[in-house]
Amino acid sequence: MPINLISIMNKSLTLFFCLLLLISAACKKPHRTDPPVETHEVTFNISGLDLNLTTGPIVNSVGDKLKTNSTTPYFLSYTLYDQSNKTLTIKQTDGTSTPVIKDNIPNGTYTATFFLINLSANSGYVVPSGGNIQNITNSNDFFSKKITFVVSGNSVTQNVILNRIDAKIEVKLKDDTIPKHVSRIYLSLPDSTQFNTLTQQYLSPATVNTLGVYLDGAKKGITPAPFASYTSNHITPFTLSIVAVFDNSAQTYTKVISNVVCERNKITVLTGKLFGGTAGIGVSIPKTWAPADTVKF
């Protein structure tokens, strides 16, 4: 009887593939599903804030704590870090009610930073990058806080009172003879536009000009009402200029004031005459925000 080679080959191939299937099935491991990571709700109540500074709201007995006011708009940035300062979560919110931040995170030790800006004077968002807050302007009031906390199997609720991170300079010209062709008066001073929320420090300052006060219409030739500027420069004494701009903007008059000292959470007041008299400009720090110092030169 002749041997059917084709039939033998077909049977051999069939047996071979069957063996492969058996080996594959034997080697295949059962699929494992990792259990879900258990998280817990964390709530931060940003309490005691009053962003309306017209009444000098800081109460000295409690330092930076401010009265409650729910009518002034704010922008709040929250960043969550692990123990190696790796960014885990960024949340940003704005509104007028008391700020509340909620997060859901696993057990562990964390760092959280908060940065709040009063937007009533100059709206605009800031974006955190490596802990740095950019585009800080001297027309806004700023608050910040860095905290460390532990999550260990239960929800966490924590009240966070932010610290004011800037100082304030106020200019009060007394019965000054303002030329009628002066259209604007502003301050020029070294200041910083970046704040690092992890170190809670401002970056190196550069010279900036404040918004100041504009003199037009009925304000021409009249001593202007006091005007103010926030500043980050509250570490070392610095030189500040009060600049008067004439109508054509090409001519200015500058009064240079040396050795100006500002302190965080305090108002430094510059008083005197810019054009008339010989009294010059005096510097003092009143008790509006915190216990005062006085600097004369």
CB atoms within 10 A of CB 96: 14
Classify residue 29 by its DSSP letter: P
CB atoms within 10 A of CB 76: 21
User: pLDDT 10s digit of each residue in the chain, 297 long?
Assistant: 454 545 545 555 565 556 556 666 556 555 666 677 789 999 998 864 544 333 333 332 223 333 333 346 778 889 999 999 999 998 888 777 778 899 999 999 999 999 888 765 444 556 666 777 776 777 778 888 999 999 998 888 888 888 888 888 888 888 777 888 888 898 998 888 888 889 888 888 888 888 788 888 778 888 888 888 888 888 778 888 999 888 867 788 888 988 888 888 888 888 888 886 544 455 444 445 565 554 443
- pTM higher than the cut 0.85: no
Strands of the sheet containing 294-295, edge to edge, are: 227-231, 167-173, 267-272, 281-284, 294-295
- How far apart are alpha carbons 297 and 282 in whole angstroms? 7
Contacts with 21 (C-beta within 8 Å, 6 or more apart), sequence order: none
- How far apart are alpha carbons 217 and 82 in whole angstroms? 57
Q: Would you give the distance in Å from CA 297 to the centre of its chain? A: 34
Asked if 74 contacts 117 with a C-beta cutoff of 8 angstroms, the reply is yes
- How far apart are alpha carbons 64 and 289 in whole angstroms? 9
- How far apart are alpha carbons 198 and 207 in whole angstroms? 24
